[in-house]
A = this chain, B = another copy of it.
Amino acid sequence: METVLVSVAEVALKSRPVRSLLERKLANQIRFFLVREGFTNFRLYRMQGRLCVETAEPERAAEALSKRLFGAATIIPTTRTTTELNEILRTAVETAVQTISPNESFAVRPKTVGEHPYSSRELAVKIGAEVLERLKEKGVHVNLDEPDRVIHVEAREEAAFIYTKVIPGPGGLPYGSQGRLVSLFSGGIDSPVAAWLMMKRGAAVLPLFLDQRPYVGEDYYLRALEVARIVGGYAPVPNFSLYSIDFGKVMERIMAYREPSLRCVLCKRAMYRAASAIAYKQRAQGLVTGESLGQVASQTLSNLTVISEAVSLPVYRPLVGLDKVEIERMAKAIGTYEATAKKVEGCTVVPSRPKTRAALEKVKEAEEGLGLAELVAEAAERIQRVRLIP
């Protein structure tokens, strides 16, 4: 019987009830991803800290899970047998014959858990001898230190598993196991990577697009939709959506202010406020942004301080210590880079010399004069939600 083994990441540090909760979440998410990929006939069970999926297509199942299943440390397509010695021998040798190419070297790595009438050494010797017998003529040979192929054999209490490769999972924690965050989601290079990193660490993320049209192009909105769809592909939920708030009036009001150099800080504070309003409504416990220290004028320590002051929720900035090239590398691995790097018409009213050290008192005075907080609160009342099907 073909079986995929999934091991849970970072559980060593967790208490037994927390571990059990994480395993149950992960099991549900395995089911979600497999069903989405069209699997109809599979069986899912827990076994000694691992999750096991019985399926006729172990390779395809492992592929479906390996990139997207946050919380998985490793994903291993195996063949399951009984713990009976002859059965293990037969299956291991068959697997070896199918896997090892002519002139390659191999090693058998056995492991036994519980009581068995054979030792792991015995397993290795017997399997190794029979594989050699079958493949010697093709130049196949043993190399224990640096084998081309490894035949893994795990004899556990209930069953034995034979496998030849261990696929690394994405790591992290099961999606949604750590609560919920609102992501300030522009669809540029940074914000999707920031959202993805928090998702990988177990947060459910609501991407929020502050819709600055007509001060940005139509294509700016379409890009955000496209990128949110890619990010949503990692979320094992049926209703991943891009939330958006019409920021046209807010922008108009900011444009009316006499000092263009404060525009970006006023705009960012308004965005934080809107996101915070959504967070309270959706019971999210913080914001996540793509800010990176010193990358642009609004991301100096001074301006980040002024911007953060607008909200009382914590703001998580997983990219704050990374360079643009490092963020781009991550975006490529996640699959958002191409869509985010598209040339779109960004904000057309960025001043030529935005303030890098806006004074908080002055900013607050401006906001009060413009009635910005109220306007943002009104805008946030009319939130829109576009459900994304990945």
A interface, CB within 8 angstroms of B: 9-10, 13, 15, 18, 171-173, 177-181, 194, 197-198, 200-203, 285-286, 292-296, 300-302, 304-305, 308-309, 312-326, 353, 356
Contacts and interface: CB of A to CB of B under 8 A. Distances in A.
A178 B294 contact: yes
Q: Classify the secondary structure of A's interface with B.
A: loop
Contacts of A301: 178-181, 203, 285-286, 314
A314 B305 contact: yes
A320 to B, nearest CB: 5
**Within the oligomer, what is the number of copies of this chain?**
2
Given A301-B181, A325-B171, A293 B201 contact: yes
A315 B326 CA distance: 22
Contact of A201 (B177, B181, B292): B292
B314 A304 contact: yes
A69 to B, nearest CB: 14
Given A203-B301, A318-B321, 6 more contacts: A173-B293, A173-B294, A178-B293, A178-B301, A201-B322, A318-B322
B293 A305 contact: no
20 contacts: A9-B323, A171-B323, A171-B326, A172-B323, A173-B293, A178-B294, A178-B301, A197-B322, A198-B320, A198-B321, A201-B321, A203-B301, A285-B301, A285-B302, A286-B301, A305-B314, A317-B317, A317-B320, A318-B321, A319-B321
B325 A305 contact: no
A18 B173 CA distance: 40
A176 B319 CA distance: 19
